[in-house]
Structure 1
Amino acid sequence: MTPQAHKRSRLTTRLVAAAAALLLGGGGTALIAAGASADGAGQDGPGQRGGPVAAAATVSCPDVGDRLRQVPRGARLPVSRGLAALDRQVATAYEKMTTGGSGTDTVLRQLRQQREKTIGAMADAIGRSAPRPDALLNMSGCRMKPTGRPISVGGPGQDQSQAPDQGQGPDQGQGQGQDGGQANDGGQDGNGGQGQGANGQDDGGQQQGGGQLPPVGGPSPDDFADIRSQQPNAQQPPQGDGASTGTFVSECGTNKEGHFNSDNVIVTPGVSNGAHHTHDYVGNDSTDAFSTDQSLAAAGTTCGNGDLSTYYWPVLRALDGTSEHKPGAGHDGNVGSVLTPSSVKLTYSGSQDGDVTAMPRFLRIITGDAKAFTNGPANANASWSCTGFEDRQLKDKYPICPNGSDVVRTFNFQSCWDGQNTDSANHRTHVAFAQQDGSCPAGFRAVPQLQEKITYDVPNGQQFAVDSFPEQLHKPVTDHGDFINVMPDRLMAEAVRCINSGRDCR
């Protein structure tokens, strides 16, 4: 085991021990960001017994990957390794702060130095065959982002409950973008809203996601809301006269085969544990960090119709105090038992504005943002609900579902393609969402829109959370889905015919 793995293992042990103490009503010391301001000290929240209170904080860094605009072929592996290293550096800095090993200023200074070196190496690799993106170096500096939630730091015998959200305003931190302009490093931090907290009761006196304090590091009780407190907000877009109204469904199972890894083949290909959280896969049965177009095309699939595409998303975990000491799990701060979906539905649909054209084979799409808590909501696309209540969608809360209702995650992917590229340097600019009237932006064409809908039978009273980078605190707003189209051309052509002719096919 590497020294880094040993450190992550010790962090996980502390997290699990703290969580166990909380769940058992003990007085384990809360782990909070060292150097965070004492916000609201002396003001007891529900369940607190006085004692000092400090505002929890996390590490917020400009997202270098989102600012990439050109990565020549020869620079792809060095850039991939650099992006993975940046994520590892931030996670290590967050670990140092939460365990109190070093002061905030010292950790941030060391982090900046590490990032300058890594970003410089990435810029050098790009600059060997393209203009060197020197502006990326302006993104080396990081800062602390308050979460807006005071945490009790009392000793044994004192409650460690978190006080209510103090209404932290939008995060306005700025980082220099590649184009020389400023990149907003903040935006809404996903804490807002007045939805019912995790202690809301359902009709039977049971709770989903409530009644227990979460492990230190997230999520917070304020990250949960009773789905019934949300007003209906899901609206179907109007259909134009020429809308393509058919659907095509791929039935690919629920990953009972156990295809998991912590790789990130789209963002950090060629790097093991590039995601630092565990992904759940259906479809293509060979996907990992080292997959190529050729290996994906030659693989098997769990889809009954021969669809070789790869569909994946971060696992959902029951926060039951268990931990696997391996990459993507305990070593990266993701604890709890992995929940197997009760169903996975993969549906392709049409355009409000007219016919769709075929997706190119090996098209890669990411929807949502794994770093939305610190990046802000610009690319966030999380959507949480409960069966029987899907006219109500939560963007920055986990749902508390009534008895007999399952948790639902929904990912609606971009449905406009630039007509040329199967990927882009930041993995976003080659695709786009349709505009409000259903049309694609200039220069883009409509392709079938993929929707991934995953449901889970979460036991009443059981808290849960999506896997995330440690500093993202397992916020629901960080949920995201990934897709690589590997449908055989004939199958994609069949899907397009079904959609454009208004038929429902599978």
Structure 2
Amino acid sequence: MLWRPLVLAAAAIAPSVDAAATLRFSCSQLVVDRLDPLVNPGMNPSPHLHQVVGGNAFNTTMDPAVHDLPTTATCTSCTPVEDFSNYWTATLFFRARNGTFKRVNTFGNELGFTSAKGGQTVYYLSSGKVTAFKPGFRMTVGDPTFRTAAQLNAKYKYMDFTCLASSMTRGGQTLNFPTSTCAAGIMVSIRFPTCWDGKNTDSPDHQSHVAYPNGNACPSTHPVVVPQVFYETYWDTRPFNDKNIWPTDGSQPFVWSFGDNTGYGIHGDYVFGWKGDALQRAMDNNCNSDLFANQINCPTLQVQSLDQANQCTIKPEVNENLDGWLTELPGGMPIM
């Protein structure tokens, strides 16, 4: 059932007959912490909670002039051992009928990565020749202030929720939180733009240096085709499927850690940290991955086991209670 991201990748990347890569792998949970080194560099704690995967050089500032991830990190929670990038999203919470909150855990993608300790599945996709990201590259996608489908549709593509009836469910995506119980959890998909200006590894808003294609071609302002970075995060909403603890009006009970109970504020952050030319080699060699096994078909890359990836964790820098039932979201974030 890997066809869905492949179809969407073809729509999001300028096409070519040269090659196609579908690099798919697991990244176990590195840390859950209230830090955001892109949007709030140096702020400890940052306003809302994130779940982070990747290299253990993740820190409060992520200043590329000081922290070169491939040389600073000593392990990665991703299975390609040369990938010390960091990937993160907001954290999901359940709000009970009595107004208290419980953090929702992530769990390993059941299509091949069941033994992963949380985290997310990461893809690097291409439908032709692409240029790998440069050292220091970072970007975000989405806007945490959005609260309507019109806002999300107008600016971003391919970010959605799937209510999983089973691990094989694909289709029926929504731009907002699912409004009914999901037997196998909720999958959140976040896809980044695929056109780069070819000059800047970052921009003040962390988004202007990248763009979506216009039809089948990158715009002249952003002429360089880069791999599509794509996250799938499985949220274990199964413990909350008892409608007796949902709001009395039957409305959906989930809320992002930044106070969004609609889902339209979905967003993700990415900091490139592959060692040397490893990602470019993988893209040039049309690397792909088996769907039902932790196996990357890519002789040019070294891969560690899921058990090894699970061992790469760091301690949260912010000392706060994230478990049990909470009277408010971490940081006191209001729901709005």
- Which residue among 336, 341, 357 is the counterpart of 2:107? 341
Shift of 1:491: 1.5
Pairing of 1:121-136 with structure 2 (within 5 A): none
> Does 1:493 pair with 2:280?
yes
Number of the residue aligned with 1:442:
220
Q: 1:241 to 1:384 in 2, by over 3 A?
A: same
Return the alpha-carbon distance in structure 2 between the equivalents of residues 322 and 314 of structure 1: 23
Contact 1:321 1:335 in 2 (8 A): no
Number of the residue aligned with 1:265:
37
Contact 2:125 2:229 in 1 (8 A): yes
Once the two structures are superposed, residues 105-125 of structure 1 have per-residue CA deviations (whole angstroms, 9 ceiling, x without a partner) of xxxxxxxxxxxxxxxxxxxxx
Q: 1:493 to 1:241 in 2, by over 3 A?
A: closer
Q: 1:360 to 1:391 in 2, by over 3 A?
A: same
Q: What is the letter of the counterpart of residue 440 of structure 1?
A: C
Shift of 1:235: 5.9
Number of the residue aligned with 2:50:
279
> Does 1:245 pair with 2:20?
yes
Runs of 4+ with >4 A deviation: 234-241, 320-323, 500-504
Contact 1:350 1:500 in 2 (8 A): no
Once the two structures are superposed, residues 53-94 of structure 1 have per-residue CA deviations (whole angstroms, 9 ceiling, x without a partner) of xxxxxxxxxxxxxxxxxxxxxxxxxxxxxxxxxxxxxxxxxx
Return the alpha-carbon distance in structure 2 between the equivalents of residues 367 and 479 of structure 1: 9
> Does 1:432 pair with 2:203?
no
Q: 1:401 to 1:355 in 2, by over 3 A?
A: farther
Shift of 1:396: 2.4
Q: 1:321 to 1:289 in 2, by over 3 A?
A: farther
Number of the residue aligned with 1:397:
177
Return the alpha-carbon distance in structure 2 between the equivalents of residues 401 and 498 of structure 1: 42
Contact 2:256 2:263 in 1 (8 A): no
Number of the residue aligned with 1:311:
87
Shift of 1:500: 8.0
Structure of greater Rg: 1
Return the alpha-carbon distance in structure 1 between the equivalents of residues 163 and 173 of structure 2: 9
- Which residue among 255, 258, 262 is the counterpart of 1:469? 258
TM-score w.r.t. structure 2 length?
Answer: 0.66
Contact 2:177 2:254 in 1 (8 A): no
Q: Structure 2: give runs of 5+ residues left out of the alignment.
A: 110-119, 247-252, 290-295, 304-336
Q: What is the letter of the counterpart of residue 450 of structure 1?
A: V
Contact 1:251 1:304 in 2 (8 A): yes
Shift of 1:357: 1.1
Pairing of 1:298-447 with structure 2 (within 5 A): 298-300=72-74, 301-306=76-81, 307-320=83-96, 335-343=101-109, 344-351=120-127, 354-373=128-147, 376-377=151-152, 378-380=154-156, 382-387=159-164, 388-398=168-178, 400-403=180-183, 405-437=184-216, 439-443=217-221, 444-447=223-226
Return the alpha-carbon distance in structure 1 between the equivalents of residues 287 and 56 of structure 2: 30
Identity value in percent: 24
Greater RCO (Cα-Cα under 8 Å, separation 6 or more) = 2
Return the alpha-carbon distance in structure 2 between the equivalents of residues 252 and 498 of structure 1: 22
How many residue pairs are counted as aligned between the two chains? 254
Give the number of the structure whose residues are more often helix, by fraction: 1
Give the number of the structure whose residues are more often strand, by fraction: 2
Contact 2:104 2:236 in 1 (8 A): no
Return the alpha-carbon distance in structure 2 between the equivalents of residues 454 and 269 of structure 1: 24
Return the alpha-carbon distance in structure 2 between the equivalents of residues 455 and 345 of structure 1: 8
RMSD over aligned Cα, in angstroms? 3.1
Return the alpha-carbon distance in structure 1 between the equivalents of residues 288 and 26 of structure 2: 21
Q: What is the letter of the counterpart of residue 385 of structure 1?
A: T
Q: 1:461 to 1:441 in 2, by over 3 A?
A: farther
